[in-house]
Structure 1
């Protein structure tokens, strides 16, 4: 029996159903980046943020088609890192695996930081670190029970988020068609043009809006990490990926359009959820409290997903390795879960309050910028992996879920990610997080070289 097959057969249980995968895919596109970060995007780009979401959404869909082809080529692999290791080499797999793990940890920190902001709506004097710490502790317990319990929880959270966004869009459409007014005035398309035009912030503002929009989409590839625990991955994963454009249009474009129809872009909140602000302006009793509960559930849901992903990634990069570190985090518990990897990931996510103490109110923006920077590097490596897979795989061995337009679309996607990396290096407010991400990559590269030399001796 091959090493890879042994790795799979002795590993995870396939406990995630079709419904779990579909709802995880849907819920994965709705998180703090949309409910909180969109305020920063609107502030920087104005109404043109809608166009940014469409552009980034198209590229992320194409990325998922490439990753989908990789996943379908070997459903026994645990994570994308297994593919990177196979097609780009063990060193690159090592670097990407740990960078990816650190990225999910950073995302978890961003979500727990956002929880402190959300709870201030009800409890202005509450210490911002308390909600995050309690949430991480509870989610760790849940993740240590079974993957199915994780799936059930995400199923519930996803329904809450989806119903809320759909209801929000329908409500704004009703107010628009009936000519109703809010505390900001009439609900109207004129808001997209009356306050400086569609590109109100000019080309510089348009470019500055990309960072938070990209951050909003982080998590779309989460469905690929469920492949090893999905009951019928051949059909459910394909369906989830192909439905991504519909989710982008409904849950991002329509929702943000709804906000801008209610609130002139220059008055959109940047230190609170614009959804709470928009619903509060409608005058509907308790509407803002209801939506605040939903955005809290969204943050909890995202933290849950990121903890799930971080635990499995750390397990994947340490599996079958030598040394105490690898043996500690590279094995599964009796419940067939990466218990130690989950515990360490949760402990690191719990360090978010330390960043808040140092940076203050800008902690969320700094953490989200760092996450975006690391994911741009990771996504670039994923596209390179897909290109290597296609070059090394004979045509008669390709699966039926092929990337459209290969190799030209791959080059276009890679160029977009590289341009975004250059953009973040140029823009002063994002330069430090981007440099930090590159520095982490270099440090991991050096460690991988030392590790390789030690093994060769």
Structure 2
């Protein structure tokens, strides 16, 4: 690869290999939402949570096909925000960019909160804010060194998560075939039908399970954000997106099914990882500690990914801008958005304040707010893809296109819109969704004032 090909117009260095992209893609789909949040989802929806994961996974695959077509249409652009600016206008781009940045910061805060919960398994008297704060300081140091080091770290974390989930599913499958028992009784499919049946909590419970399931998938679009630093994005981005359905089936549906085969849905704890609970029930020595180490590594991995994304998004929305703020965060140092990374890490470091103010509900509130903001952003992304296709002649389209355009775009947009309405209707999520909408409106007002001042 020549020097010219190894850097982008904005100054990023293409250091992420195919292996990095594939494992980062997995890192974006396996995190706290699965390892911790799934307990809340199961509590809400019962065994039908499996169906919710399949439904949400299908629509997230459609979203990624649309985003993949956008990213590959112009590899000179290094984030989705640049496409939104081009096809929906600078104001919407400005608003979405900062909303997206705030979303990644809030995700990092959620992971830091989860880390405190995980560490209490070993250290019940340790303040919940300590593990997250230490983690963000260490990860900031790593991200300030190089993108390749970030990729290597994510590679290692993803291997741990993948091996663990596969081993977990195989272990439960073995117990199922051999008639094994746990402290909850025989391992079997009967757990899916007893205690109220597959839709044990009814239609209201089924709908209530969507928020945390959507949160589980937040971060899947990280694949596209790596394009600017990928060595061969035309190959790696396509492959990562096309393999998404397999990852959804294996790492979500099969893992959750395995949990439910071991533990009746109404006995799954919501204040700890169901994976720890399920493996502990098998009687295998130190199984609980082993899986707790894995879920901690998953939370660290996700925090690492979210910090990576937040730093690059802040750089993107301030790149080539005027004024002290834009000049501070809109340039690279050593081919890295160092100032953006530092500010994002500092804001994520405010998670202890939220924990102190809200207490045990901090994770649920932060995750719900993140979900709400991402639903708004995903709607804008689909609208961007629709605008791109309308403005681009057929002979200029590349081969990686959204299937069944425009119908799948419209269906996906309707689904995300219905999820926004659902969160507004559910009392537990209403405040978070209203907060996300208010943030969007405030950013829109700031954008209009800023552009008006620039015009004068």
After TM superposition, the score normalised by the length of structure 2 is: 0.98
Residue correspondence of structure 1 range 211-222 to structure 2 within 5 A: 211-222=211-222
Aligned to 2:173: 173
How far apart, in 1, do the equivalents of 2:29 and 2:165 lie? 12
CA contact (8 A) 2:8 2:14 kept: no
Aligned to 2:445: 446
Post-superposition Cα deviations, 1:71-95, rounded to whole Å, max 9, x if no partner, equal: 1100111100010000000000000
3-state SS in 1 of match to 2:69: helix
* 1:233 and 2:240 aligned: no
How far apart, in 2, do the equivalents of 1:99 and 1:310 lie? 11
Quote how far apart the aligned CAs of 1:408 are: 0.6
Quote how far apart the aligned CAs of 1:186 are: 0.3
Aligned to 2:332: 332
Quote how far apart the aligned CAs of 1:11 are: 1.2
Post-superposition Cα deviations, 1:161-220, rounded to whole Å, max 9, x if no partner, equal: 000000000000000000010000000000000110000000000000000000000011
Quote how far apart the aligned CAs of 1:28 are: 1.4
CA contact (8 A) 2:191 2:265 kept: yes
How far apart, in 2, do the equivalents of 1:353 and 1:371 lie? 17
Aligned to 1:291: 291
Aligned to 2:429: 430
How far apart, in 2, do the equivalents of 1:420 and 1:180 lie? 40
Post-superposition Cα deviations, 1:281-329, rounded to whole Å, max 9, x if no partner, equal: 0000011100000000000000000000000000000011111100000
How far apart, in 2, do the equivalents of 1:205 and 1:124 lie? 31
How far apart, in 1, do the equivalents of 2:436 and 2:418 lie? 16
Quote how far apart the aligned CAs of 1:8 are: 3.6
How far apart, in 1, do the equivalents of 2:289 and 2:60 lie? 32
Residue correspondence of structure 1 range 172-321 to structure 2 within 5 A: 172-321=172-321
CA contact (8 A) 1:32 1:295 kept: yes
- Unpaired runs of 5+ residues, structure 2, are none
3-state SS in 1 of match to 2:269: coil
Stretches (4+) displaced over 3 A: none
Quote how far apart the aligned CAs of 1:10 are: 4.3
Aligned to 1:377: 376
Post-superposition Cα deviations, 1:200-251, rounded to whole Å, max 9, x if no partner, equal: 0000000000000000000110010000000000001100000000000000
Aligned to 2:404: 405
Aligned to 1:386: 385
Quote how far apart the aligned CAs of 1:438 are: 0.1
Aligned to 1:142: 142
RMSD (Å) for aligned C-alpha atoms: 0.9
CA contact (8 A) 1:27 1:162 kept: no
How many residues are matched? 451
How far apart, in 1, do the equivalents of 2:241 and 2:65 lie? 7
CA contact (8 A) 1:99 1:374 kept: yes
How far apart, in 1, do the equivalents of 2:129 and 2:364 lie? 16
How far apart, in 2, do the equivalents of 1:28 and 1:176 lie? 30
CA contact (8 A) 2:46 2:199 kept: yes
After TM superposition, the score normalised by the length of structure 1 is: 0.98
Aligned to 1:29: 29
Quote how far apart the aligned CAs of 1:9 are: 2.3
3-state SS in 2 of match to 1:9: coil
Aligned to 2:111: 111
Quote how far apart the aligned CAs of 1:26 are: 1.4
